[in-house]
Amino acid sequence: RIGHLHKALQTGKEKLQGDSAHGFSNFLQLLDGLLKYEYREFTTKMLDDIEQFLKGIKEHVFRIPERLLVIRALLLARRIEKDTQLNATSQ
């Protein structure tokens, strides 16, 4: 579902931003939903791409920034847990 995220972000910003029929708002809402329900699928690079995408956007971005922070925290917690397990098995 998110395999072509970078291209989707680029296309959404170029072709939908400023759409009077609320197409861009729908795009942002879809992205927010993906972050909410498919959060395990996102990588740090994808989160970086989304943060870049959000720069300069004047429309309501729903809870995207908050979701990015939560997902980054989860990724960090997983990395710490993995490192802790590796250290425990090497001792």
Percent of the chain at pLDDT exceeding 90: 79
Residue 78: closest CA among 44, 33, 47, 55: 44
At 3 the pLDDT is: 87
19 compared with 26, residue with greater pLDDT: 26
Q: What's the token pair of residue 44?
A: 């740090």
Question: Are 86 and 79 a contacting pair, CB within 8 Å?
Answer: no
Q: Torsion-angle region of residue 19: left (phi > 0), alpha (psi -120 to 50) or beta?
A: beta
For 5, the token pair is 């995220």
Say what angle helices 44-54 and 64-90 make with each other, to 10 degrees.
160
- Lookup: tokens for 80: 């710490």
Q: pTM score, two decimals?
A: 0.88
Residue 21: pLDDT band with limits 50, 70, 90: confident
pLDDT in tens, 37-80: 999 999 999 999 999 999 999 999 999 999 999 999 999 999 99
Statement: residue 6 has pLDDT above 80 = yes
Q: How confident is the model at residue 20 (pLDDT cuts 50, 70, 90)?
A: confident
